[in-house]
Homo-oligomer: A and B are copies of this chain.
Amino acid sequence: MPNIKQIAEAAGVSVSTVSRVLNNHPYVREDKRKAVEAAIERLQYSRNMNAVHLVKGATQTIGVILPQINNAYFGKVVEGIGQQALQVNYQLMLFQTGYRANEERKALRMLRDKIVDGLIIISRSLSLNQIEKYAKYGPITLCEEVRGRALSCVYFDHYTSFQKALTYLWDKGHRRIGYTINRRNSASSAVRHKAYLNTLASLGGESREAWIFDNCLHLEDGAKLLQHIRTMDDPPSALLITGDQVAAGLMIAAQNQGVRIPEELAIIGLDNQPISKLLGITTIDNRLNEIGAKAFSIIYRHIHEQTDEAIIQELGFKIIERSSV
């Protein structure tokens, strides 16, 4: 494969001239430009972008850290990132970490090693301290609330959304309210737990450890959850389920087993996935697509405006009433 030098020779100009037409610089005489373009066409030239990346010190690529690609929640966020990236001709490099610290670290190193110009972390297991160490190598944006650090973020308010949802259930007459999460020790879990305790306390209601269920991420987890709840002596009458996949799994299992929703168990989901609409599940729209889009925009601003200070952005949410409560 020819390089820029050979094109220069073929076109009878210097490499700088070739470079100029390659980069659409002005000040190139029309006939030379034509000659270069002809040579490029004739020799089937294509730029080796690695050389460009080296000399420019940037790759127009941003990395995305996520536990798994094949998941409705992460999928929606990545989609948002991708749509935005497309607009400005950036590429996406996906790091499927499975929440393994080691894989997350590998991705962080990609930033340090200049393989990506920035990093979006959709979900993580590494500590913020660990992550912050890499902030000096390039912009990092998390999809969760982070303050007082060299890290930007977009998020929606877990606390208030929980509060609103719990109150909603309370107003509908529920007095035994529980909730589900995925990982016990995630950032959002702590916030949610606090919201749960505080809200119920202020409503004068009861909160119980036994009404909190973890490891709920996939459809199947919802089905298992229902199974479990049916064996409980004093089951919750309503559940705040953090993820429509799980809510859907529970809903379908309930239909299969003749458990009436909401009469026997009321549920409210999260993420506003298509399936919740089909199943009539009341849910919270947390604008996942926009979270992804915003995350990208923030990275982009960091790169192009040299703004070093963290950008913090909160996105709103909305309860979508359907018939599962």
Interface residue ranges, A against B (CB under 8 Å): 46-51, 53-54, 57, 59, 61, 68-72, 75-76, 78-79, 82-83, 86, 91-96, 103, 109-110, 112-115, 137, 218-220, 223, 248-249, 252-253, 255-256, 274-275, 277-280
Contacts and interface: CB of A to CB of B under 8 A. Distances in A.
B96 A93 contact: no
A91 B79 contact: no
Given A219-B278, A274-B219, A278-B220, A49 B94 contact: no
**Closest A-B pairs by Cβ, 8 of them:** A70-B75, A50-B53, A70-B79, A50-B54, A49-B113, A82-B96, A46-B112, A252-B278
Contacts of A103: 86
Given A49-B114, A51-B54, A93-B93, A219 B72 contact: no
Tally of this chain's copies: 2
Q: Could you say which of A109, A219, A223, A280 has the most chain B C-beta atoms within 10 Å of its C-beta? A: A219
15 contacts: A47-B113, A48-B54, A50-B53, A50-B54, A50-B59, A50-B114, A61-B93, A69-B78, A70-B75, A91-B110, A92-B93, A219-B278, A220-B277, A256-B278, A256-B280
